[in-house]
Structure 1
Amino acid sequence: MKRESLEKSFRSFALFGSFGFMMAASILVGYFIGSYLDNKLGTAPWFLLVCLLLSVIGAFIEFFKTVSRYNKRAKNAG
């Protein structure tokens, strides 16, 4: 019983830990793409802002999908 509880805790930690990595990675990708486009097209800071906004929105959407899948699995298992 205790082992199952520990495994469930680790899964939850991994889920929420992956959100931090996902958010940081998407922001970095959005930053570099936006900076590149702004430098190439001379439109600073517009592409940077748009790419950052889209990357943050995308990360939140993916996070909510992941949490939804996790909750469905937990409900079916429990």
Structure 2
Amino acid sequence: MENKDKEIRAQKRRLWAELSSAGIQFPVSIGIGYFMGKYLDKWFNTYPYLTIIFSIFGVVAAFVNIFRLNSQLTKLEEKERKLKDED
């Protein structure tokens, strides 16, 4: 029982560390999308369409990552709560 509790705490710390990097993940995701779109616009001569589309993809990717991490954290907290209820 104690090993499970330690394992859940370790997973929880790892997820909190990933969530704390969200301030970096947002601009990096958007930046990657923007520069990828800008490069493709130059290559296909379609400015600004691909820049806009890929920037939106970057925003969506950032939000999806945050929601995924939040979901994992919620599941871990539920496991932790169940372990405490069993005691």
Which of residues 57, 75, 79 in structure 2 aligns to 1:72? 75
CA root-mean-square deviation: 2.2
By relative contact order (CA 8 Å, sep 6+), the higher-ranking structure is: 2
Bigger radius of gyration among the two: 2
Residue in 1 that maps onto 2:30: 27
Q: TM-score, normalising length from structure 1?
A: 0.76
Rounded to whole Å, the distance in 2 between the matches of 1:46 and 1:17 is 33
Residue 15 of structure 1: how far off its partner (Å): 4.3
Deviates more, 1:17-26 or 1:27-36: 17-26
Q: Provide TM-score, normalisation by structure 2.
A: 0.69
What displacement does 1:17 show?
2.3
Q: Deviations over 1:4-52 (max 9, x none)?
A: xxx8xxx486344222211111111101101101111111110000000
Q: Which runs of 4+ in 1 moved over 6 A?
A: none
Distance 2:16 2:67 in 1: 15
Q: How many residues align?
A: 71
